[in-house]
Amino acid sequence: MEKMDKPLTKNIRPDRAFATLADYESTGGYQGLRKAVTELQPKEVQQCVKDAGLRGRGGAGFNTGLKWSLVPSDDLSQTRYLIANADEMEPGTFKDRMLLEQDPHQLIEGMIIAAYAIQANVAYIFLRGEYHLAASRLKNALKEAQSKGYLGEHVLDSSFNLEIHLHTSAGRYICGEETALINALEGKRANPRTKPPFAVVSGLWGKPTVVNNVETLCNIPHILQHGVEWYQSLGRGVDKGTKLFGASGRVKHPGLWELPMGTPIREIIEEHAGGMQDGFELRGFLPGGASTDFLLPEHLDVVMDYEAVAKAGSRMGTGAIIVLDDLTCPVQMVLNLEQFFAQESCGWCTPCREGLPWTVTLLQDIIGGHGRIEDLDTLAGLTRMLGPGNTFCALAPGAMEPLQSALKYFREDFERYIVGNNAIMETV
């Protein structure tokens, strides 16, 4: 009997082995695809996914069916592309790796349905270069799908043709940004592009292109197979479906769990992750990866819905909770995060290229005992200058989220370094 409440992970085994094509088919695999290409028009597939309320699982949360419907459909002879964004690199996030390594056919089926919905005949999996095991399992699964007629010419004897190519990248966080990813796939430096035009209109080689996150695509086969009502019934709150939520840091059982959207954060940290390790207290957490604002223990009852987490002052992001314990210095944690963002900035636009290294320098000065109290105002100023609307893409605004919330919630930790420094100077 299929585990209907955990569609994404029903084939995932605890031993990290992977679902073969036969395993995948035995739990209903490729039934969603069969239904799509034999019973539904591409527009109907789009509508179904739109009605289900699936929102992008890469962090932005845009309605997936709506994104598909923005691909111009007036000229069907025009080339279009579908890209699976498998460039998982948001610190603290380890959800797509599991889906890619342990159930590769789920992604492939999701991609074939998505490509059918937007009538793309070529698709790419943009996989981060470090995911070697995922690459070999995907390569093998693509061959299997081809040999069974799910992929290639005349998918399931229909008139729809699709090739899927696996592209392995060479590592840069910015490649996860949709238009930077497209530049990387074209063999260029992964700088983001000006928007508009949006990729759905002019993307890969100037053609309409849909970029969807791995986890997003993995939802598609189940929506097609079991329908909109079933999918909507999975959510506990406002948002629909299930999601992979993770917890890392000093919790008893770090891990990854498929849970309904709308699950309270408390349940994830205290029940699934088993609470804090002995000797550690919860000080705060980043709810959805490195580029989300800190929340505090008082926010534990916030539920994992896009709007609910936003209302609490952060973002659900990738749903990967990074836990800050009471023995880890939040200022040093923020320094680690900002060093990551400064290194991974593509350098294309000035605020990000100059502002992030400046942020790092200020934090290093503060921690090194050379900080001044005015530096905190400078840091606060940077969170505005590097904030939304001032940069080409979301990297710098994302980098500012943990910093701005740390300045708000952990100001005394910053001040302690500075006051301590002043005290030392006075005694000298």
Partner 1 sequence: MKEQTEHLGFEGLSLAEIQQINAELRHYEDKTAVSIEALKIIQKHRRWVSNQCLVAVAELLDMSPAQLEGVATFYNLIYRQPVGKTVIHYCNSVSCWMLGSDQVQERLCQHLNVEVGEMTEDGEYTILPIVCLGACDHAPVVMVGTELKLDITVNAVNEILGR
Residues of the shown chain interacting with partner 1 in the complex, contacts defined by CB under 8 A: 88-94, 96-97, 128-133, 165, 167-173, 184-190, 205, 246-250, 254-256, 290, 320, 322, 325, 328, 333, 336-337, 340, 343-344, 346
Cβ-based nearer residue to partner 1, 184 or 228: 184
- 3-class SS at 159? coil
Cβ-based nearer residue to partner 1, 43 or 189: 189
Nearest to 331 by CA among 287, 366, 299: 366
| DSSP output for 19-63 | --HHHHHHTTTTHHHHHHHHH--HHHHHHHHHHHT-B-TTTT--B
Please name the amino acid found at residue 325. Answer: D
Contact 134, 100 (CB under 8 A): yes
Residue identified by tokens 């880890």 is: 328
Cβ-based nearer residue to partner 1, 31 or 79: 79
Please name the amino acid found at residue 395. Answer: L
Give the pairing type, strands 255-260 and 81-86: unpaired
Cβ-based nearer residue to partner 1, 87 or 239: 87
Closest approach of partner 1 to the CB of residue 223, in Å: 25
b/e sequence 347-360, b meaning 16+ C-beta within 10 Å: ebbebbebbbbbbb
Closest approach of partner 1 to the CB of residue 306, in Å: 22
Closest approach of partner 1 to the CB of residue 113, in Å: 22
User: In this structure, what is the dihedral angle of CA atoms 299, 300, 302, 303, given to the nearest 10 degrees?
Assistant: 160
382: its two tokens = 């940077």
Closest approach of partner 1 to the CB of residue 252, in Å: 12
Closest approach of partner 1 to the CB of residue 202, in Å: 14
Cβ-based nearer residue to partner 1, 206 or 381: 206
Contact 304, 268 (CB under 8 A): yes
Closest approach of partner 1 to the CB of residue 126, in Å: 11
Closest approach of partner 1 to the CB of residue 138, in Å: 14
Taking the C-alpha atoms of residue 394 and residue 293, their distance in angstroms, rounded to an integer, is: 14
Closest approach of partner 1 to the CB of residue 171, in Å: 4
Taking the C-alpha atoms of residue 309 and residue 304, their distance in angstroms, rounded to an integer, is: 6
b/e sequence 134-168, b meaning 16+ C-beta within 10 Å: bbebbeebbebbbeeebbeeebbeeebebebebbb
Taking the C-alpha atoms of residue 225 and residue 281, their distance in angstroms, rounded to an integer, is: 44
Cβ-based nearer residue to partner 1, 97 or 315: 97
Cβ-based nearer residue to partner 1, 66 or 170: 170
Cβ-based nearer residue to partner 1, 364 or 390: 364
Cβ-based nearer residue to partner 1, 96 or 239: 96
Closest approach of partner 1 to the CB of residue 200, in Å: 18
